[in-house]
Amino acid sequence: MSIYKLLLLPGDGIGPEISAEAEKVLALLNEAGVARFEVERGLVGGAAYDAHKQAISEADMTRALEADAVLLAAVGGPKWDGVPYDLRPESGLLRLRKDLGLFANLRPAICYAALADASSLKRDIVDGLDIMIVRELTGGVYFGEPKEITDLGNGQKRAVDTQVYETYEIERIGRVAFEMARKRGNKVTSSEKSNVMKSGYLWREVITALHKREYADVKLEHMLADALAMQLVRWPKQFDVVVTDNLFGDMLSDEAAMLTGSLGMLPSASLGAADEKGKRHAMYEPCHGSAPDIAGKGIANPIAMIGSLGMALRYSFDLPKAADAIDAAIANVLAKGLRTADIKGDAPSTVSTKEMGDAIVAELKKTL
Ligand code: NAI
Ligand code: MG
């Protein structure tokens, strides 16, 4: 049986509460003999800061680099507002993304049938929605240099952020999107602002050439990012895989998230480049943050966290059947009417974090 090393980083806020539910699922997977997961635990974010005044320790960074995958819950909150900028809980996340080279962020937006009425859009617009946003995560305007604020000396300041993309960065994220589309609906929508941005112009040129050269069997369309933002709320089911840069991907994936009913539902995967042996660094985490407003109350939705573990099974461990089983277990508990408090709509019963986790484990047990 394959043995996998998983580093679990619960973080702070609701992180430890939702991590505990994912651990129950891991225990069941071990028990059922799906694989052998060896789980190590580490500290990140506020938890790491409180313990040793760092957003992540060097020892835990080393563990992350050695693990087959990292499963992270969430970090951040007002408790750490006063800490120096470079030690903020969120800087632990950025360090992990950067040092693991996680350039591809996959954010699925799936609307479960049982939740189609919990969306802010009408049922027929979102029912059955299943799209995958592929966001470039280590380049673009969040990282480009120069990045600075200069004092102009006349009472004015000047702030600069720089959007930079090189061919290889666009090609490698494009490949992730095309490969993904081949396993799904076989369609990629590439999005930028090639009409007003040089980096967007290059993006379109590179994606077009890559498509022609290696992925002509996949349907490719280009859509300007502002038009895509509009189409996402007009008729989101037209999309299969959307590939875009770091900045647009940040916004478009948050927008897509809201189509599905609750932020508490959405998992994500961040992947690095494969080495010669096909192994790559990967980190899986819910899209939401640490929800300090409800931390410690036992009411957080653990579905995004458990779904993130499901993505790890799919993308790091090549266990698609077990990943499907987790998704089905989630769909089944929702179909039965179980809702955590964050999910809108007329919930037949509102359950706690623990009850939701237990219900998913019980469903999963039936199918493994
Ligand atoms: P948030 O995602 O933590 O919370 C937004 C709203 O959604 C809150 O009302 C919260 O209660 C609710 N919510 C989020 N996840 C939920 C869940 N699983 N179940 C039930 N309700 C849930 O975003 P916010 O409030 O803007 O940020 C809080 C802290 O989290 C900040 O310090 C922020 O920097 C950090 N953050 C961390 C992220 C990460 O760890 N990847 C991502 C986003 C924010
Ligand atoms: Mg965001």
Q: What one-character-per-residue DSSP string does 230-298 give?
A: HHHHH-GGG-SEEEE-HHHHHHHHHHHHHTTS-GGG-EEEEE----TTS---EEEEESS---TTTTTSS
φ and ψ at residue 120, rounded to 5 degrees: -80, -10
* pLDDT at residue number 46: 97
pLDDT digits (tens, 9 = 90+) for 284-341: 999 999 999 999 999 999 999 999 999 999 999 999 999 999 999 999 999 999 999 9
Q: How many A from CA of 268 to the centre of ligand 2?
A: 12
Return the CATH class of domain 130-258.
alpha beta
Average of pLDDT values for 111-121?
Answer: 86
Q: What angle do CA 259, 247, 304 make, to 5 degrees?
A: 40
With bands split at pLDDT 50, 70 and 90, how would you rate the model's confidence at 154?
very high
With bands split at pLDDT 50, 70 and 90, how would you rate the model's confidence at 348?
low
Average of pLDDT values for 71-87?
Answer: 94
Q: Which ligand has the nearest atom to the CA of 257?
A: 2
* pLDDT at residue number 277: 83
Q: Which ligand has the nearest atom to the CA of 137?
A: 2
Q: Is 70 exceeded by the pLDDT of residue 125?
A: yes
Catalytic residue among 68, 240, 250, 342: 250
Any catalytic annotation for residue 346? no
3-state secondary structure of 191: strand
DSSP 12: S
Average of pLDDT values for 235-262?
Answer: 93
Annotated binding site for NAD(+): 77-90, 289-301
Any catalytic annotation for residue 254? yes
Closest residue to atom 26 of ligand 1, CA basis: 289
Residue 330 CB contacts under 8 Å (≥ 6 apart), including other chains = 112, 303, 306, 307, 310, 360
Closest residue to atom 11 of ligand 1, CA basis: 291
Q: Which helix (H) or strand (E) holds 355?
A: helix 353-367
Average of pLDDT values for 38-44?
Answer: 97
* pLDDT at residue number 38: 97
Rounded CA separation 228/218 (Å): 19
Percent residues over pLDDT 70 in the chain: 99
Both tokens assigned to 288: 């939401």
Average of pLDDT values for 37-45?
Answer: 97
Q: Dihedral, CA atoms, 291, 140, 239, 226, nearest 10 degrees?
A: 90
**What's the whole-number average pLDDT of the chain?**
95
**Which residues are within 5 Å of ligand 2 (an ion), measured at CB?**
250, 254
* pLDDT at residue number 345: 62
Any catalytic annotation for residue 142? yes
Nearest ligand 1 atom to the CA of 301 is 19
The predicted model scores a pTM of 0.93
With bands split at pLDDT 50, 70 and 90, how would you rate the model's confidence at 113?
confident
CATH superfamily of 1-108+264-368: Isopropylmalate Dehydrogenase (3.40.718.10)
Both tokens assigned to 291: 């929800």
pLDDT digits (tens, 9 = 90+) for 129-146: 999 999 999 999 999 999
Average of pLDDT values for 39-54?
Answer: 97
Nearest ligand 1 atom to the CA of 78 is 32
Q: Is 80 exceeded by the pLDDT of residue 349?
A: no
Q: What are the residue boundaries of the structural domains of the chain, listed by start? A: 1-108+264-368, 130-258
One fold for 1-108+264-368 and 130-258: yes
Residues within 6 Å of ligand 1 by CB: 14, 74-77, 90, 93, 263-264, 285, 288-294, 300-301, 304, 342
With bands split at pLDDT 50, 70 and 90, how would you rate the model's confidence at 94?
confident
Percent residues over pLDDT 90 in the chain: 88
Q: Is 80 exceeded by the pLDDT of residue 276?
A: yes
3-state secondary structure of 93: helix
Within 10 A of 112 (CB to CB), how many other CB atoms are there? 24
Q: How many A from CA of 336 to the centre of ligand 2?
A: 31
Cis? peptide before 146, omega within 30° of 0? yes
